[in-house]
Structure 1
Amino acid sequence: MADEAIATGRLSAGEQSATHTLSRRRIGVPDIVFFVVAASSPLTVAAGGLPMSYGTTGVTGVPLIYLILAAVLAVFSAGYAAMSRHISNAGAFYSYIAQGLGRVTGVGASFVALVAYNAMQVGLYGLFGAAAAGLVSAHLGVDVPWWVCSLVALALIAFLGYRRIDLNARVLAVLLVCEGLTVLVFDIAQVGNAPAGLTAEPFTWSAVTTGAVGAGFCWVMASFMGFESGAIYSEECRDPRRTVSRATYIAVALIGVFYAFTAWAMSMGTGVDKIIDESAKNGTDLVFILGEATLGSAFSTLANVFMVTAVFAALLSFHNAVARYFFALGRERVLPARLGDSHPRHGSPYVGSLVQTAIALVVVVGFGVLGGDPTGTLFNWFTNLGALGVILLLVVTSVSVLGFFRRDSRGENGFSRIIAPTLAGAALAAILVLAVVNFNALLGTPPDSILNWLIPGLVLLAGIVGVGYGLRIKAADPATYARIGHGASAE
């Protein structure tokens, strides 16, 4: 009865003390899909990711790369989904790795996850601030510092993160539908007005090998960031054994097919022989230039508005992910126990939400005071740091699937337990190596820049520090060590 009262918000004032349980049975498959796809942000990919993919790599086969990576991630999802049927924990990667490869490795993974997801979320404030400030200046004639716009978004994100998960899901649903329809209208317009006619050339292997294919895979992989976050909401969904796996498969298919179509449509809008040059010349303005040419200035204006709301949706999605990682680690006493408190009425990880907000506030204000570049530095450096961390976690999680089912199949088939994680782990490891080797292409830095190794080094450092901390817990606090990776059942 107490859990039901918490979930429905019927607690009296005297009963409203912190709990360690997230709201139960609040969201279903569509809600998790909204969280996952919002993190990758269709309009942000169309306006930023695709022109950068084409312009910096010289690869015209970007659409085929999307389909290849969707297939790789679908294979990864087989093992990931199999584990989700046996582990329900807001810590997701942390819990999976702890139970598959050991508690110390799990703590190391949790530190990488915290760095990666915080970096992704905080970096997006730079893009949001720049886009919102530009919109206000263009249409209202008022020059507003980018960081002011970011702080307004930060306040709204903090409010939503404090509230129930289903409210967040409804907000994301509205924003995602708006930006998804905007991109779809753009795609149809480009296909309908292709100056050189329609061709399937971008889906051929020869098109993939036209340029720096390694960098091309890295850019496209960045578009899938967030697909793995479904398991983070496993404690709050209606049927953990089915909801997470279904949502993950749907999200991978949706992202892969939709973005491949958008990449192809954009190349049809310019002509395959011109997409590289036009992307390099116009960058993030390309989608608005093409949209205005085929749909008029009203579309360009609307797309700019939805670009701002799209980044806001991504901010909200990553904020919720970070808050739940803090919650999972606090509940198991890996981090301060206060982080494991959930709101008695909303069932939200409100302390973790507040901590994430504080981290973002410090970084945004710091960049604002010091006059930092919101897109070239805050957005570019931080989100690429985050993407690299997530790819590393995907590789380690693939190995953890093998470890988790090594002695007990738990009723899962051989493909999900052995074949899928082995194939996915090898493919993702290759992508990780490509990402590190081609990191200068992602950052836009010279090949000899120290940043090309310093930023990837931060991911490795986080993992090493986490493993060291895990060893310390093992030696000094056996009770906490026994709880690691086991969620609510560890209490």
Structure 2
Amino acid sequence: MSEKKNTQLSGSLGVTSIVLMVVATAAPLTVMVANTPLIITMGNGAGAAFDALLATLIMFLFAVGFVAMSKYISNAGAFYSYIQKGLGRTLGLGSATLAWISYFLILVALETYMGVAFSDLLKNLAGINVPWWVMTLACMLTIGFLGYRHIELSSKFLAIALVLEIAVVILVDLFVFAERGLTGMDIEAFHPATIMSGSPGLGIMFAIYCFIGFEATVIFREEAKDPDRTIPKATYIAVLGVGLFYIISMWCEVTVIGSSNIVNFATTHGESTYLLIAQQYLGTLSKDVILVLLVTSLFACALSLHNIVVRYQYVLGKYDVLPKQLAYIHEKYKSPYMSSFVQTASSITLFIFLLILELDPVTNIYAWGATTGTLGYMTILSLTCISVIVFFRRNKNGNFWKTLLAPSLGLIGLLFCLWIAIVNLPSLIGSESTLIAQIIICVLIAAFSLGVVKAKIMKSRKPQLFEQLKELA
């Protein structure tokens, strides 16, 4: 078989490898350093641990219906396969292009932020001055190379990076528990008055963002070993494991600083908040170690997102929604190498365009891209919940808890977070101007419309291709 005609992925990813992909995308150390201060200062302060608990519950409820429906999905199409199965091919394809663009924007935003972090690291530790944009381009090219190779090469790198970053956070947690004991932990963090202080809706929304990427449990279906067993198990382990990690770690952070001081401390120190806590328990050297691991955490997250975007393009190319060349598989590495190449080239092209506009890498490129992508992600989660409910109501099979109650409760939680995000969009992007907020909404509508229009064109002009879209589910 020639290389260009091969469009079937292969691999033997087990539960551990797939869970690593999910956790890498969640970037636990990055969450503790960069996201937790946002939950505390923009959300409900010491209620951060409760926000993580509620976000875990929402994602668990989502996962119940998600897993129940997974045995009816045979394709590697991830969330949009579910949406198509329940809501039809047109909405399914719209959700596919929305997810593709959303993840792409998050990836470019993250790679930009990583360039800044990497440049600062070299300057602080080695006294080497390298422009941040050079480091961003270097990271993009490195990630593109790893994406070009077999998926298991990426999973091995992710394993090393994740073990190190998770170990540091767990070590800090253990020191806190050893010093305070369970009875010495700050229970005010779970007191109703604390939870309802500030803006609990924003806190929960930021906590939901910490779970981004667990779609990877199904997007690597073609490369999984025994997917009918591996995917459900990996999904539950990822959701509950990541959730428990955040709950305990945020609770320890609040306990060390104190409920009454946490907001002022996080406002004053920002992203240094967790670094100062780690330094208190692990010594001065730990700050430098964590800064290094923060960069590897960002890199692991970007690599995982790259692999997700690449597989979106691969599937869309496979069914002629995007150019079919994106579905070409490397004969040696069994990877979607053309899709990886196009993704890398697209990221670099967009990044250079943004550089020409002289946008700030953090307050503009990162903030706008990450927010746009996250809104799209939460929309896809909500549509998936609706699809699960509709699918099982139509087929009238499955038990009440898995097919209706759990996904309905999960949907309510997700829609609440989505509404909070839209209402607070100007403050989330760091701009009081409504123009950027309007542009973000227009980009998401355009991304969804792209798939819907493509589906309608296929239905009228190429009915055979439109019929083939059934295979996406």
- Specify if TM > 0.5: yes
2:321 match: 334
Once the 2 structures are TM-superposed, how far is the Cα of residue 313 of structure 1 from its aligned partner? 0.2
**Could you tell which deviates more after superposition, 334-343 or 286-295?**
286-295
1:155 match: 141
For the aligned residues, what is the CA RMSD? 2.0
Once the 2 structures are TM-superposed, how far is the Cα of residue 434 of structure 1 from its aligned partner? 1.3
2:30 match: 44
Distance in 1 separating the partners of 2:420 and 2:185: 32
Find the residue that maps to 1:90 and give its secondary structure: coil
AA aligned to 2:169 is V
Query: Number of matched residues?
Result: 472
The 5 A counterparts of 1:56-455 are: 56-191=42-177, 198-409=185-396, 412-446=398-432, 449-455=434-440
1:12 match: none
Distance in 1 separating the partners of 2:442 and 2:328: 32
Distance in 2 separating the partners of 1:190 and 1:367: 43
The TM-score normalised by the length of structure 2 is 0.95
Is the contact made by 1:86 and 1:241 (CA closer than 8 Å) also made in structure 2? no
AA aligned to 1:32 is I
Distance in 1 separating the partners of 2:401 and 2:184: 42
Is the contact made by 2:379 and 2:418 (CA closer than 8 Å) also made in structure 1? yes
Once the 2 structures are TM-superposed, how far is the Cα of residue 134 of structure 1 from its aligned partner? 0.3
Q: 1:464 aligns with which of 440, 449, 454?
A: 449
> Deviations for 1:95-133, whole angstroms, at most 9, x for unmatched residues?
211121111111110111111110111110121111100
Find the residue that maps to 1:372 and give its secondary structure: coil
Distance in 1 separating the partners of 2:394 and 2:357: 54
Q: Does 1:486 align with 2:471?
A: yes
Structure 1 unaligned runs (5+)?
A: 3-14
Once the 2 structures are TM-superposed, how far is the Cα of residue 485 of structure 1 from its aligned partner? 4.6
Is the contact made by 1:53 and 1:216 (CA closer than 8 Å) also made in structure 2? yes
Q: Specify whether residues 184 and 114 from structure 1 end up closer, same or farther in structure 2 by C-alpha distance, changes over 3 A only.
A: same
Once the 2 structures are TM-superposed, how far is the Cα of residue 407 of structure 1 from its aligned partner? 3.7
Identity, % of aligned positions: 34
Q: Specify whether residues 190 and 368 from structure 1 end up closer, same or farther in structure 2 by C-alpha distance, changes over 3 A only.
A: farther
Find the residue that maps to 2:332 and give its secondary structure: coil
The TM-score normalised by the length of structure 1 is 0.92
AA aligned to 1:240 is P
Distance in 2 separating the partners of 1:474 and 1:46: 47
Distance in 1 separating the partners of 2:247 and 2:79: 27
Distance in 2 separating the partners of 1:255 and 1:227: 10
Find the residue that maps to 2:222 and give its secondary structure: coil
Is the contact made by 1:193 and 1:269 (CA closer than 8 Å) also made in structure 2? no
Structure 2 unaligned runs (5+)?
A: none
Is the contact made by 2:98 and 2:376 (CA closer than 8 Å) also made in structure 1? yes
Distance in 1 separating the partners of 2:67 and 2:47: 30
Find the residue that maps to 1:60 and give its secondary structure: helix
Is the contact made by 1:331 and 1:340 (CA closer than 8 Å) also made in structure 2? yes
AA aligned to 1:463 is F
AA aligned to 1:185 is L
Find the residue that maps to 1:486 and give its secondary structure: helix
Once the 2 structures are TM-superposed, how far is the Cα of residue 201 of structure 1 from its aligned partner? 1.4
Q: Specify whether residues 162 and 403 from structure 1 end up closer, same or farther in structure 2 by C-alpha distance, changes over 3 A only.
A: same
Is the contact made by 1:95 and 1:485 (CA closer than 8 Å) also made in structure 2? no
> Deviations for 1:257-292, whole angstroms, at most 9, x for unmatched residues?
111111111112211111111111111111122222
Find the residue that maps to 2:393 and give its secondary structure: coil
Is the contact made by 1:23 and 1:346 (CA closer than 8 Å) also made in structure 2? no
**Could you tell which deviates more after superposition, 212-221 or 322-331?**
212-221
Distance in 2 separating the partners of 1:83 and 1:369: 46
Find the residue that maps to 2:66 and give its secondary structure: helix
> Deviations for 1:110-163, whole angstroms, at most 9, x for unmatched residues?
111111110111110121111100010011112111111111111211111111
Once the 2 structures are TM-superposed, how far is the Cα of residue 369 of structure 1 from its aligned partner? 4.3
Once the 2 structures are TM-superposed, how far is the Cα of residue 186 of structure 1 from its aligned partner? 2.7
Is the contact made by 1:84 and 1:240 (CA closer than 8 Å) also made in structure 2? no
Distance in 1 separating the partners of 2:272 and 2:215: 29
Distance in 2 separating the partners of 1:193 and 1:452: 46
Distance in 2 separating the partners of 1:441 and 1:205: 26
> Deviations for 1:314-371, whole angstroms, at most 9, x for unmatched residues?
0010000000000111111111111121222212111111111111111233334443
1:9 match: none
**Could you tell which deviates more after superposition, 149-158 or 127-136?**
149-158
Distance in 2 separating the partners of 1:460 and 1:50: 30
**Could you tell which deviates more after superposition, 123-132 or 334-343?**
334-343
Find the residue that maps to 2:105 and give its secondary structure: helix
Q: Specify whether residues 188 and 485 from structure 1 end up closer, same or farther in structure 2 by C-alpha distance, changes over 3 A only.
A: farther
